[in-house]
Amino acid sequence: MITGAFFLLALFVLPMWNITLEAPQYPDSIGMDIWINKITDHNPNDIKNINLMNHYVGMKPIPEHMREFEIFPWVIGVMSFIGVAIGFIGKKNLYLAWFIVMIILGAAGMYDFYLWEYDYGHNLDPTAAIKIPGQGYQPPLIGRKEILNFTAISRPMSGAYFLFAGILMSLFAYFISKGEELKYEKEEAI
């Protein structure tokens, strides 16, 4: 349980998500890495080049500041701290509670990510040079999607894997400790 909670801290040093754009004119592809507190170039100048390309269809530049960048580190920090604390307390039901809260928070995070993607792909500048009626530019939440001449690929990165592992470990911890308790109860029954 404690290890799992510590795994969350990996998000402070590892990127969480990646969106890559592929097209013949970009043989090296261009992409951005999403962290809990920032968005960075996958390769130097990628965000500049994504913005340059997207401005033709009126998409907003990739934000340097978002409200989420301030909230997420706190959420992850606090949840990690609580996780460690309940690990020391050692109450199995608290493990399950932490697991459920993390699943809810994770789902909320993904929903928030979706909302941003929707806005990014649909809230277009009315003065854009290229307008294609009915065309949205929203990147996929996860997986591949063709957007005009680009293939957009959205996938978790190492930070997210640590997050998943941490959450699963809490569930694992819950089952292990439950097993021990059952055994104990059975012995008592005998």
Partner 1 sequence: MKTKIKFIASGILLVTIMAVLGCTTQNNGSGALSSNVAERAYVAPGEHDEFYAFVSGGFSGQLSVYGLPSGRLFRVIPVFSVDAEKAYGFNEETKPMLETTFGFIPWDDSHHPDISQTNGEIDGRWVFINANNTPRIARISLETFETEEIIEIPNSAGNHSSSFVTENTEYVVAGTRFSVPVPQQDISIDEYKSNFKGAISFIGIDQESGRMNLDFQILMPGFNYDLAHPGRGKSHGWMFFSTYNTEEANTLLEVNASQNDKDFIAAINWKKAEEYIQQGRFREMETAYAHNVYDESTHMATSTIKRTVKVLDPAELPGLVYFLPTPKSPHGCDVDPTGEYIIGSGKLSAALTAHSFTKMLDAIENERFDGEAYGVPILNYDDVVAGVVEQAGLGPLHTEFDTEGNGYTTFFISSEVVKWKVGTWEVVDRKPTYYSVGHLMIPGGNSRKPFGKYLLAMNKITKDRYLPTGPELTQSAQLYDISGEKMELILDFPTVGEPHYAAGAPADLIAPRSKKFYELDDNNHPYSIKNESEARVERDGNVVHIYMSTIRSHFAPDNIEGIKVGDRVYFHVTNLEQDFDVPHGISMIGANTSELLIMPGQTETFVWEPKKVGVWPFYCTDFCSALHQEMQGYVRVSPRNSDIELSWSLDGE
Residues that bind partner 1 (CB under 8 A): 44-45, 48-49, 52, 56, 129-130
Question: Quick one: 46 or 117, whose CB is closer to partner 1?
Answer: 46
Strands 39-41 and 26-34: antiparallel
Question: Quick one: 103 or 130, whose CB is closer to partner 1?
Answer: 130
CB 86 to partner 1: min, Å: 48
CB 61 to partner 1: min, Å: 13
- Rounded CA-CA distance 123/63 in Å is 14
Question: Quick one: 128 or 165, whose CB is closer to partner 1?
Answer: 128
In 1-160, where do the E strands start and end?
17-23, 26-34, 39-41, 143-147, 150-156
Question: Quick one: 56 or 81, whose CB is closer to partner 1?
Answer: 56
In the chain, where do the E strands start and end?
17-23, 26-34, 39-41, 143-147, 150-156
Residue labelled with tokens 């997207």: 54
CB 60 to partner 1: min, Å: 17
- Rounded CA-CA distance 30/24 in Å is 11
